[in-house]
Amino acid sequence: MVKKIWNPEMECMKRADMEALQLERLKALVDYCDKNVKFYHDRFVKMGITADKIKVLSDIQYLPYTTKADLRDTYPFGMFGVDRREIVRIHASSGTTGNPTVVGYTKEDLGHWAEQVARIATAGGADENSLVQICFGYGLFTGALGLHYGLEKIGATVVPISSGNTEKQLKFMRDFGTDTIVATPSYCLYLAESAREMGISMENYNLKIGLLGSEGCTPEMRDQIEERWGNGFFVSDNYGMSELNGPGLSGECYLRDGMHIAEDHFLCEVINSETGDVLDKGETGELVVTNLTKRGIPMIRYRTKDITYINYEPCECGRTSARMHKIIGRSDDMLKIRGVNVFPSQVESALIGISEIGPHYLLIVRREGYSDTLEIKVELIDGSLLDKYGILEALQRKIHDRIKSILGIEIKVTLAEPKSIERFTGKAQRVVDLRNK
C-alpha cells in the first residue's frame, strides 16, 4: 500500500508549534462564538469568560461543555454561527429520542472537512490511483458525502453506490476492479460473506483497502474481515461524528497504533465522564472535542460520550499528530450489569477467534427480580451442530467461560442458527436492553 502523508506541514508539525497554532485558533473561536452564537454568549457572560482571558491552552478548562442535549434544545438552527443563507450544506443525525441533531456547514467548513478526510484516506492507503466504492448511505448521514469529497480531493475515482443492494455492490466491485471500499466494518464483513455464499471466488476481486468507520471494530474483528477478503486486504479504522463535521476527525495509518487526529482543527481532551474533571494525558475517559475551525456550527468542548485515551508520542509513520486509541465503548452504551461496566467490544474480542461461530452477536439485557441478566446470542457457522447436543454443550461452555473470565459476571450463552441475527448495511445494533420494557 502507499505510505503517503497528505499534508506533512500540518500532520508532522512540532508539538510546540502545533500547540501555539491551537491556542491562536482557540482564542479566535471563543471570540467568534461570543459574537455570533447567543447560546455561547449567554454562557460566557454567566461565567465571566472573554477571549482575552485565554492565555494558555489549558485555560480551555474554564470554558463550558457542549452536549447533544444543547443541540436538541436549540433545534434546528439555534447554534449556527452564521445566517442560514451562508450555510451551504445541512446534515442531521437521528437520535433514538427527541429532535434530531442538525449541523450546518459554510463553504469554508466544507473545505476544511474535505481536507480532514483527505488526510485519513491517505493515511489509510488511498491515493489518486484508487477506485473507491462508497457503501455508506448518501443522505443526512455524514459518512458518505464526507468521504466522497475527501476522496475526490485526493484525486481518487469515486463510485457513490450508497448502501444496500449487496448483489450490485459485488457486481460493480468485480466489473470495475474496485480496490478500496468505504463502509462500516459489519457491512464490509457482510459483503465478503455474501460473495462467498454466492459462490464467487475472492480471486475475482481486486479489493485492497477498507476505509472503515462509524462503528467500533476490535482488532479481532478487523483480522476476521481481512481474512475473509484475503489477497492482502488492509483495513483502517476511522472516527468522527456529525457534530464535529463527520468522518475525518481521526484515522489510522498503516501502523495502526492509534487514530491520528487532525489537531490543527480539533483540540481534544479526555475527561472523567462522571465528575467532568479533565484527566491527565494518556488516561482513559470520555473524549471531549473543540472544533477549532468550524464556523457554521462552532463546537466548544463537545462531549462525545466515546471512551478512549490519547497518545502524544510521534508515530513511526512520520506524523507527529496525537493518536487516539480505538473507541473502547460509549459512556452511554456502557452496560452496567450488577455493578460491572460491560462494553460490547469486550464481548466481541472474546467471541472472535472461536472457529465454530460467526462474527454476528447480540447482547440481550433483562431484569429478573432485582437483578440484571446478560444473555449473549451468537450464530453458529454450521447449523447442523444444533442437533449434536454434546458438541453444542461443550461449545457453549467454552464461550461462557471465556466471556465470564473477561467480564467477571455470570452470563447466559445462546447458540443460534446461521443467518438468524439481523444484518445491517449501516451501523450494527449489538445491544438489546429490555430492562425498562
SS3 107: helix
- In sequence order, which residues have a C-beta less than 8 Å from that of residue 228 and are 6 or more positions away? 189, 192, 193, 196, 202
Q: How far is the CB of 28 from ligand DLL (least distance, A)?
A: 25
Kindly tell me which residue out of 130, 163, 242, 373 binds ligand DLL, with binding defined by CB under 6 A: 242
Residue nearest ligand DLL, CB atom distance: 213
* Residue 124 interacts with ligand DLL (CB under 6 A): yes or no: no
* Burial degree of 201 (CB within 10 A; 0-12, 13-18, 19+): exposed
CB closer to ligand DLL, 140 vs 386: 140
Q: What is the DSSP letter of 66?
A: B
H or E element in which residue 303 lies: strand 299-308
Judged by CB under 6 A, which stretch of 46-54, 111-119, 239-247, 270-278 contacts ligand DLL? 239-247
CB closer to ligand DLL, 118 vs 413: 118
Within positions 84 to 103, which residues make up the interface with ligand DLL, using CB under 6 A?
A: 93
* Burial degree of 146 (CB within 10 A; 0-12, 13-18, 19+): buried
Judged by CB under 6 A, which stretch of 237-245, 317-325, 378-386, 392-400 contacts ligand DLL? 237-245
* Residue 210 interacts with ligand DLL (CB under 6 A): yes or no: no
Cis previous bond, 64, omega within 30 = no
- In sequence order, which residues have a C-beta less than 8 Å from that of residue 188 and are 6 or more positions away? 135, 181, 210, 212, 225, 229, 235
CB closer to ligand DLL, 241 vs 315: 241
The site for ligand DLL, by CB under 6 A, has a size of 20
* DSSP secondary structure of 226-254: HHHH-TT-EEEEEEEEGGGTEEEEEEE-T
* DSSP secondary structure of 355-423: TTEEEEEEEEEEEETTEEEEEEEEEESSGGGGG-HHHHHHHHHHHHHHHHHHH-S--EEEEE-TT-SPP
Judged by CB under 6 A, which stretch of 57-65, 141-149, 293-301, 310-318 contacts ligand DLL? 141-149
Q: How far is the CB of 207 from ligand DLL (least distance, A)?
A: 18
* Residue 213 interacts with ligand DLL (CB under 6 A): yes or no: yes
* Residue 216 interacts with ligand DLL (CB under 6 A): yes or no: yes
* Residue 218 interacts with ligand DLL (CB under 6 A): yes or no: no
CB 136 within 8 A of CB 147: yes
* Burial degree of 395 (CB within 10 A; 0-12, 13-18, 19+): buried
Q: How far is the CB of 135 from ligand DLL (least distance, A)?
A: 11
CB closer to ligand DLL, 326 vs 404: 326
Within positions 317 to 356, which residues make up the interface with ligand DLL, using CB under 6 A?
A: 327, 330
CB 285 within 8 A of CB 307: yes
* Residue 150 interacts with ligand DLL (CB under 6 A): yes or no: no
* Residue 264 interacts with ligand DLL (CB under 6 A): yes or no: no
Kindly tell me which residue out of 166, 273, 304, 373 binds ligand DLL, with binding defined by CB under 6 A: 304
CB 13 within 8 A of CB 21: yes
Q: How far is the CB of 107 from ligand DLL (least distance, A)?
A: 21
Q: How far is the CB of 12 from ligand DLL (least distance, A)?
A: 23
Kindly tell me which residue out of 143, 150, 258, 298 binds ligand DLL, with binding defined by CB under 6 A: 143
Judged by CB under 6 A, which stretch of 138-146, 164-172, 263-271, 390-398 contacts ligand DLL? 138-146
CB closer to ligand DLL, 4 vs 330: 330
Distances (CA, A) of 189 to 181, 261, 300, 358, 359: 11, 26, 36, 11, 9
* Residue 238 interacts with ligand DLL (CB under 6 A): yes or no: yes
Give the residue from 266, 300, 271 showing the smallest Cα distance to 287: 271
CB closer to ligand DLL, 156 vs 415: 156
CB closer to ligand DLL, 366 vs 427: 427
* Residue 306 interacts with ligand DLL (CB under 6 A): yes or no: yes
Q: How far is the CB of 421 from ligand DLL (least distance, A)?
A: 20
CB closer to ligand DLL, 328 vs 364: 328
* Residue 11 interacts with ligand DLL (CB under 6 A): yes or no: no
The residue type of 81 is: G
* Burial degree of 226 (CB within 10 A; 0-12, 13-18, 19+): middle
SS3 62: helix
The residue type of 384 is: S
Query: Which residues are at the interface with ligand DLL (CB under 6 A)?
Result: 93, 141-143, 213-216, 237-242, 246-247, 304, 306, 327, 330
